[in-house]
Amino acid sequence: MYKPVKLPYDYSALEPFIDTETMKVHYDTLYMNYINNLNDEIRKKNYRAIPIIKLITTIDDYSDIVRNNAGGYYNHSLFWKMLKPAKNVNGNLPIGISKRIINRDFGTYESFKKMIEKKAKKRFGSGWVWWIIMPDGDTRIIETPYQDNPQMYFDCEILLGVDVWEHAYFLKYKGDRVGYVNNIFNLINWNYPNEILNKYY
């Protein structure tokens, strides 16, 4: 059965950009609910337990309950690793190969950020914004509804993801989704996309 990944930092470690209460609710309640619901549905339908990435990439073979909860489980398992405590406010710039590929594909880091913010604002209702890399090395920014994951649609790898469900930001930011997205750039763990990009370049 599917198990949670350990949160790689304390609940309070992402302050002031993501508050402690949000992290506790997000990880302890919502994330765990996705895992429990997924495992319950797998048992109920007698589905064979397979690696989560295989489940995600063959998701059309499963029920909507599996789709929603597998996505919620997998997306968040990645999301925790894509963030890290902030060292300097407004000083968390991309490093290494991430910097080079962002400049190549989006012109500047500011253009990259603005595109993510635009996609986040455009996403009606709940969902995610993603930076992905295709097999040919081309990178793009996309958005998906609800707990859908890019690997449900494309042969790709995920470089970054931003959760734009209200539960990710509402306690602190209320309805200011763009403010939350703008601040989350202070928390990006650039080592995460760098490890993936280094396989391509």
Same domain, 64 and 137: no
- Token pair of 59, please? 């998701």
For the whole model, what pTM was predicted?
A: 0.94
pLDDT digits (tens, 9 = 90+) for 121-146: 988 889 999 999 999 999 999 999 99
Q: What is the pLDDT along the chain (201 residues), one digit of tens a residue?
A: 999 999 999 999 999 999 999 999 999 999 999 999 999 999 999 998 899 999 999 999 999 999 999 999 999 999 999 999 987 665 799 999 999 999 999 999 999 999 999 999 988 889 999 999 999 999 999 999 999 999 999 999 999 999 999 999 998 999 899 999 999 999 999 999 999 999 988
- DSSP result, 89-128: TT-----HHHHHHHHHHHSSHHHHHHHHHHHHHHS-SSEE
> Are 100 and 49 within one domain?
no
Q: Are residues 106 and 78 in the same domain?
A: no
Write the CATH number for 153: 3.55.40.20
Burial of 47 (0-12, 13-18, 19+ CB in 10 A): middle
* 191 in the same domain as 101: yes
- Among 82, 107, 123, where does a domain finish? 82
Residue 171 lies in domain: 96-197
Per-residue pLDDT tens digits for 84-96: 998 766 579 999 9
